[in-house]
Amino acid sequence: MLIVIENLLSADEVAQINRQLEQANWVDGAQSAGSRSIAVKQNLQVDRDCAVGAQLSNLILRRLGETPQFVSASLAEKIWPPVFNRYAHGGHYGTHVDSALMRDNARGLTLRSDLSATVFLTDPESYEGGELLIENEFGAQGVKLAAGDMVLYPSSSLHQVTPVTAGERTCAILWLQSAVADAAERAMLYDLDQSIQALSVARAADDPDIDRLIHVYHNLVRRWAQV
């Protein structure tokens, strides 16, 4: 399931992040690539020990926690802190799959990558190319969103970033482990939760039908969650 979350970041927050990223320490993105991915990865990313990057990463993490759609779609148990990357002058990231297990011994973090996310930080009109292509059972789907929007998709998907032939594409990327590992179960819970929220708008706070749906939702989470 591919989910777009619009306006995760406001225009002011996007502008603030981009200003501060100009002061960040950018390094060759190949440093963090796996043994096979290194051959197809050509971009820059903010050094993992950069204080500016850590500050901006925390800003995005706060916004994620304040965004009900993200919470509903991900049921996040662990989140790998956002990494900032930049593509320009033909920069690209060829077809690859994200690592199933991610470990950061320095921070004591290990997670199973269930979902990947890209937060777009540059307007799509300001660069050419740079489309995120995500393969699923229906074929490849291209994603190129407005600045401040985020796409959430299965980490198990083959995906790529096409070459940026003009301008610059800056994004934040992150990975997370969900409390519900099975993608089909997670999708059903998301659909059920979104329906409950939509129906609740026109119903009384003590509506018994809504209460029964909430009862079903939480019992399904209880059945499927791995925590």
Selection from 69, 54, 176 nearest residue 115 by Cα: 176
The string of pLDDT tens digits covering residues 190-216 is 999 999 999 999 899 899 999 999 999
Q: Examine the domain organization and report whether 23 and 65 are in the same domain.
A: yes
Average pLDDT over residues 169-173: 98
Query: Strand (E) positions, 148-187?
Result: 150-154, 159-161, 164-166, 168-178
In which domain, by residue range, is 92 found? Answer: 3-178
Q: Examine the domain organization and report whether 9 and 102 are in the same domain.
A: yes
96 assigned ligand-binding residue: yes
The overall pTM is greater than 0.85:
yes
Q: Examine the domain organization and report whether 161 and 188 are in the same domain.
A: no
62 assigned ligand-binding residue: no
CA distance 26 to 13: 20
Q: Examine the domain organization and report whether 162 and 132 are in the same domain.
A: yes
Phi, psi of 176, deg, nearest 5: -150, 155
CA distance 121 to 149: 8
Q: Examine the domain organization and report whether 39 and 57 are in the same domain.
A: yes
pLDDT recorded at residue 128: 97
Point out the domain boundary residue: 178, 193, 214.
178
The string of pLDDT tens digits covering residues 81-119 is 999 999 999 999 999 999 999 999 888 899 999 999 999
Domain with residue 209: its CATH number is 4.10.860
CA distance 13 to 15: 5
Average pLDDT over residues 113-137: 96
92 assigned ligand-binding residue: no
Q: Examine the domain organization and report whether 118 and 210 are in the same domain.
A: no
107 assigned ligand-binding residue: no
Structural domain count, the chain = 2
Sheet of 115-120, strand order: 3-5, 150-154, 115-120, 168-178, 76-88, 44-46, 26-28
Q: Annotate 24-49 with b (16+ C-beta within 10 A) or e (fewer).
A: bebeebeeebeeebeeebbbbbbbbe
The string of pLDDT tens digits covering residues 25-82 is 999 988 776 555 567 889 999 999 999 999 999 999 999 999 999 999 999 999 999 9
DSSP state of 29: G
